[in-house]
């Protein structure tokens, strides 16, 4: 009788463990301390500020990281928002009517040769968010939350739109859920449960441009994404697709010096 109980418990633990991991590969920022402040440069127009502020505060619920909205980030020029370059060591978030690109949101990160994130960006496509279907607080909050979650190394908890909601912005649902859940926060604490030999983030305002790019907004096969081979378009294309699952797809471009630029695309429904 006692033996049976033990067996059942072990089986439960294993299934819980395999369910539990939803990190985005092994991507994470390098830190020499157990907790770090990641600067989020808010280059969205004021109608998005409420969503950015909420997501920044939600993700700061983790023990291991605080997202700090850059207080002097007023650069909301069309040019800046079109490129949405993340400066070295920080993340930029932008909105714009990027056009009928097929994507609702994208999150880009650049990875150094040690596998650490060195910069990131999130783009929110107003071409779709201005349409009746997506022009809701739920969609806007959820995609903002999810893309910023990708910028710190989280993947999706689930990619089926039609099953029971996990009540997390990292779960595909329609209508979507706006906020992270406790499991997302736990996963962050797991991802950042070690320290590194150096910091790949920076907190000072003097951080220059020239981060990981983000200039390319075109759908695959068009414009800056015309080249099928990595590196074909030099600095701006998404590179090759690492695969699509449901409405999400990941692309990678590798620089000659080994720096990888990874783009996570959230396709609009129907694309």
**Least separation in angstroms between CB 239 and Zn ion:** 18
Bond prior to 234 in cis (omega within 30° of 0): no
- Nearest Cα to Cα of residue 82 among 123, 34, 113: 123
Least distance (Å) from Zn ion to the CB of residue 180?
Answer: 13
**Distance in Å, CB of 161 to Zn ion, minimum:** 12
Q: Contact region for Zn ion (CB under 5 A) — 85-93, 203-211, 234-242, 261-269?
A: 261-269
CA 153, CA 132: separation in Å to the nearest integer?
31
* Residue with smaller CB distance to Zn ion, 177 or 233: 177
User: b/e string for 155-190 if b means 16 or more Cβ within 10 A?
Assistant: bbbbeeeeeeebebbbbbbeebbbbbbebbbebbee
Q: With respect to Zn ion, which residue has the nearer C-beta, 44 or 142?
A: 142
Q: Which helix (H) or strand (E) holds 188?
A: helix 182-191
The conformation of residue 163, written as its DSSP 8-state character, comes to S
Q: Which residue has its beta carbon closest to Zn ion?
A: 196
- The two tokens of residue 35 are 């907790």
By C-beta, is 39 or 266 nearer to Zn ion?
Answer: 266
Shortest Å distance, C-beta 39 to Zn ion: 19
Min dist. Cβ of residue 248 to Zn ion (A): 5
Bridge-based pairing state of the strands 91-96 and 116-125: parallel
| Distance of closest approach, residue 168 Cβ to Zn ion, in angstroms | 11
Is 196 near Zn ion (CB under 5 A)?
Answer: yes
Residue 136: phi and psi, rounded to 5, are -135, 150
Please, what is the minimum distance in Å from the beta carbon of residue 107 to Zn ion? 7
Q: Which stretch binds Zn ion (CB under 5 A): 38-46, 56-64, 78-86, 144-152?
A: 144-152
Does position 159 interact with Zn ion (CB under 5 A)? The reply is no
Give the Cα-Cα-Cα angle 17, 21, 26 (nearest 5 degrees). 135
What is the footprint of Zn ion within residues 213-252 (CB under 5 A)?
Answer: 248
Taking the least distance from each CB to Zn ion, the nearer of 85 and 266 is 266
In this structure, are strands 116-125 and 28-29 parallel, antiparallel, or unpaired?
parallel
| Residue number, 73 or 125, with CB nearest to Zn ion | 125
Q: Which is nearer to Zn ion, 146 or 217 (CB)?
A: 146
**Which residue in 213, 259, 264, 220 sits closest to 92, CA to CA?**
213
Rounded to whole angstroms, what are the CA distances from 43 to 4, 37, 124, 128, 228?
58, 18, 11, 18, 30
Tell me whether residue 118 or residue 248 sits nearer to Zn ion (CB atom): 248
In the complex, the smallest distance separating the C-beta of residue 270 from Zn ion, rounded to whole angstroms, is 17
What's the angle, vertex CA 25, arms to CA 19 and CA 257, rounded to 5? 175
Binding window for Zn ion (CB under 5 A); candidates: 34-42, 133-141, 181-189, 263-271: 263-271
Q: With CB under 5 A, what is the number of residues at the site for Zn ion?
A: 4
Judged by beta carbon, residue 181 or residue 266, the one nearer Zn ion is 266
Residues that bind Zn ion (CB under 5 A): 146, 196, 248, 266
């Amino acid at each position: 009788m006692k033996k049976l109980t033990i067996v059942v418990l072990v089986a439960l633990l294993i299934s819980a463990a395999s369910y539990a991991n939803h990190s985005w590969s092994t991507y994470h920022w390098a830190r020499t301390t157990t907790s770090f402040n990641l600067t989020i440069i808010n280059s969205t127009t004021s109608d998005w500020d409420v969503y950015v502020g909420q997501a920044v505060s939600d993700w700061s619920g983790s023990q291991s990281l605080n997202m700090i909205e850059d207080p002097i980030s007023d650069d909301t020029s069309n040019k800046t928002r079109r490129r949405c370059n993340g400066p070295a060591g920080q993340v930029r978030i932008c909105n714009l009517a990027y056009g009928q690109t097929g994507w609702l949101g994208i999150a880009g990160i650049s990875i150094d040769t040690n596998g650490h994130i060195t910069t990131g960006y999130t783009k929110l496509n107003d071409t779709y968010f201005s349409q009746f279907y997506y022009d809701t607080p739920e969609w806007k909050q959820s995609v903002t939350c999810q893309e910023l979650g990708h910028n710190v190394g989280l993947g999706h908890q689930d990619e089926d739109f039609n099953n029971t909601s996990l009540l997390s912005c990292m779960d595909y649902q329609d209508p979507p859920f706006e906020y992270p859940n406790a499991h997302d926060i736990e996963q962050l604490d797991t991802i950042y449960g070690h320290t590194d030999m150096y910091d790949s983030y920076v907190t000072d305002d003097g951080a220059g441009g020239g981060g990981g790019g983000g200039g390319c907004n075109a759908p695959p096969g068009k414009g800056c994404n015309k080249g099928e081979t990595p590196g074909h378009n030099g600095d701006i294309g998404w590179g090759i697709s690492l695969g699509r699952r449901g409405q999400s797809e990941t692309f990678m471009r590798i620089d000659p010096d080994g720096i990888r630029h990874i783009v996570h695309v959230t396709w609009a429904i129907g694309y």
